[in-house]
Amino acid sequence: PKTDIVFLKVHKSASSTVMNILFRFGETHNLTFAFPIGGGNQLFYPQHFLAKFVQGFSPQSSRRFNILCHHMRFLQPEVQKVVSSSAIYFSILRNPVQLMESSFAYYKGASAFSHVGSLEEFLSQPYHYYNPRSSDRHYARNLMTFDFGFNPDGDVSAGRVRLMLQAIEASFDLLLISEYFEESMVLLKETLCWDLDSVVSFPLNIRDSSTKSQLSDTIVEKIKEWNRLDWEIYTHFNRTFWERIETDIGREQMAREVRALRERQAELARTCLQGTGSVAPKDIKDSSLRPLQHGSARILGYNLKQGLDEETELMCRRLVTPELQYSSALYKRQFPQKAP
C-alpha cells in the first residue's frame, strides 16, 4: 500500500469525504500528516502553499510527512519540500455548474455574493458584484482553477488552456470526478494498492436537498461561460478519467468493483447507523458528530447505533466524524504537547 500521498482538496467536490478516507487510513497505519501550524484546517488558504505553513517543518531537517490533504492553493515546488519524492498526487473535480451553485450557498458571505439575492441575479451582471481584486473572489469564479494555483481571471485562449492542462497533468498522478464517486474510489484503491474497506465511506459535509436550487438551461450556460477555465479542466479530465478506467480496469471489472463497494457500504450503514442514513443537524444526538454549519447550506450528519462493541464503535465513529473534529483529534495525537 502507498503511504505517501498529496491530495489537493478542491472546494465543494466531495473532498471532505475523501479527506475522511485519508484520515482513517493515516490513523490506522500510524502515518504523519502535514498539518497547518497551530492545527487549523487550512494551510493559510487562499495564499499559495508554502512549506513553512506546516507544523513541524524545518528547512534544516530532512523530515517528510506522509499525507498532505488540508485545503491549500497548490504550488508544487513548496509541496515537494514536505513530502517524499515518491508521493502520489491526486485531486477530485466537480462539474463547474453544480460547483458554482454549491459555492453560492456555502459562501454567501463572500464579497461577490453578499449583496445579491440569487445566482441568477449575480450572473445577469457579474462584474457589477465581482471584483477581481478582492481577496475572496475565487469563491465566485473558476474555483478549481484557483485551487490548482492558476489565475481565475486568466485569459481563456486555447494556448493558455493547453498549458494549464499540461501543467496539471505533469503534477498529478490521478484526477477523480465527484459525479462518479464510486468509480473514483475504485480507481483510487487501485492506484494506491489499498483494500476495499480503506475506500468505503459515508458522504460527509453534504447539504440538505431543500437548500439546493434548480438551474434553468440559460443559467447553466452562463455558469459554464463565467467559469470557462474550470469547464475546460473538468471536461478534459472527465474524458481522461474514463480512458484510464478503460485501459487500467475495464468497464466490466469496474461495474463489479462498484457493486462490491456499494454492498460493503450498505453493510456498514446497517452496522453503524441509526435509521437509514444522514439526518438534519438538529437531529444529531452526539454533539461531537455535528458538522460545522456554513452559509445558507444545512449540513447533514449521522447518528451511531447504541450498544456497539468497542472496536465496532471506533470503526463506525471514524466513518462519520466531521472533518474539523477528526482533524483536531489527529493533530492532538501527532503533537500531544500543543493544544490547537
Domain ranges of the chain: 5-334
> How many Cα atoms are found within 13 Å in the side-chain-facing hemisphere of 307?
1
C-alpha cell at 340: 490547537
User: What is the distance between the alpha carbons of residues 298 and 304, in angstroms, rounded to a whole number?
Assistant: 20
Reduce the secondary structure of 260-276 to three states and give it as a string: HHHHHHHHHHHHHECCC
Q: 228-248 and 181-192 helices cross at what angle (nearest 10)?
A: 60
Instruction: Report how far residue 2's alpha carbon sits from residue 188's, in angstroms, rounded to the nearest whole number.
Output: 11
Question: What CATH number was assigned to the domain covering residues 5-334?
Answer: 3.40.50
Residue 89: pLDDT band with limits 50, 70, 90: very high
Which pTM does this prediction carry? 0.95
Predicted confidence at residue 211, as pLDDT, reads 64
Of 208-212, 238-242, 312-316, the one with minimum mean pLDDT is 208-212
DSSP annotation string for 162-173? HHHHHHHHHH-S
HSE-up (13 A, CA, CB side) for residue 50: 8
* pLDDT computed for residue 231 by the predictor: 98
Q: Please, what is the average pLDDT of the chain? A: 94
**What cell numbers appear for 34 in the block?**
502535514
CA distance 1 to 217: 44
Lowest average pLDDT, out of 87-96, 226-235, 296-305, goes to: 296-305
The H-assigned helical ranges of 88-227 are 96-106, 119-124, 126-129, 143-147, 158-171, 181-192, 196-199, 217-226
What lies within 8 Å, CB to CB, of 128 at 6+ separation is: none
User: Average pLDDT for residues 26-53, to the nearest whole number?
Assistant: 96
Cell of 33: 500528516
With a pLDDT cut of 90, the percent of the chain lying above it is 86
Q: What's the mean pLDDT in 286-301?
A: 81
List, for residues 175-223, the tens digit of each pLDDT value.
Answer: 999 999 999 999 999 999 999 999 999 988 777 766 677 899 999 999 9
Q: What span, in angstroms and rounded, lies between the C-alpha atoms of 265 and 235?
A: 29
Contacts of 24 (CB under 8 A, 6+ apart): 198, 318, 319
Has residue 113 got a pLDDT over 60? yes
Confidence of residue 281 (pLDDT cuts 50, 70, 90): confident
